Amino acid sequence: MVRGPAAVLIGLGATLAYFVVAPALPEIRSHDGGIIVAGGIGLALVVQCATWPLPAVSSRFVLATALAGGLLIVAGLAVANIGAAATPFEALFYGCVGIAFAGVLDAAPLAVALPVFVALVEIVSIAGGGASGLLVSQPVSRGDPLTLELPAWGGGLPAARISAVEVVFLAAFAAYAVRFHLREQATIAAMLAGLLLALVLTVALDTDIPVLALIAAGFVLPNIDRFPGLFRKAHEG
């Protein structure tokens, strides 16, 4: 899929419009349903923003330029303290961070081992009382650049918030899918499905869910049959 600068700017503008307008949309009567609808749309748009820079995975110059500019924008928005309106820009920046990570550390074995490693670390962390990277209906510190706010319809507390770490790893896994000729679109769709499942489970069970583990599963499952080929190429190369 071609993602030219014009298409990215138009998409970013439309996404920004949603994040600004969402609090004015009619509130959904069901509290849980409202969180799932508003949070789900927000997560889908975050994934879209984070994966827009994927074609730049092979261009370190473009990524370096995007990272420098994105850092300035995100820092400025944090100081301006504009809440959810900053989320599209934060998602784009953290997407660039993840893609740059995958572009620099592009070893095939790492592409397979990293999702398993981060999933296990998060599962152990949450089992030991750590917090999930996805929280729903909780107060947030406005202007916090390390959390991405997903606005609720009707205003009030954000429907959810997701940490920058989840966005970085999601973008990195998507970049590995591009870099190693895996199933890019299926991978992105499966990782989004993992995020949405995490949201639904968090709401339904009222407990912390290992979000990174579900994102990692979204990377592994559509591509598991291609992993042996990656190891063969790494061994031959």
For the segment 29-49, what is each residue's pLDDT rounded down to a tens digit?
899 999 999 999 999 999 999
Residue 34 pLDDT: 94
**Mean pLDDT throughout 102-119?**
91
Q: Residue 181: which region, alpha, beta or left (left: phi > 0; alpha: psi -120 to 50)?
A: left
* pLDDT higher than threshold 50 for residue 229: yes
Strands 160-163 and 134-136: antiparallel
Which two three-digit tokens encode residue 171?
Answer: 């973008």
Residue 60 pLDDT: 81
* pLDDT higher than threshold 70 for residue 123: yes
Which two three-digit tokens encode residue 216?
Answer: 């990692």
| pLDDT band at 1; cut points 50, 70, 90 | very low
**Mean pLDDT throughout 45-64?**
89
Mean pLDDT of the chain: 89
| pLDDT band at 88; cut points 50, 70, 90 | very high
Q: Which residues, including other chains, have CB under 8 Å from residue 26's CB and lie 6 or more apart?
A: 153, 154
Residue 4 pLDDT: 63
Q: Is the dihedral of CA 179, 180, 186, 192 positive or negative?
A: negative
DSSP per-residue letters across 39-79:
HHHHHHHHHHHHHTTGGGGG-HHHHHHHHHHHHHHHHHHHH
Nearest to 190 by CA among 220, 218, 223, 217: 218
Domain ranges across the chain: 5-236
pTM above 0.75, yes or no: yes
111/175 Cα distance (integer angstroms):
10
| pLDDT band at 234; cut points 50, 70, 90 | low
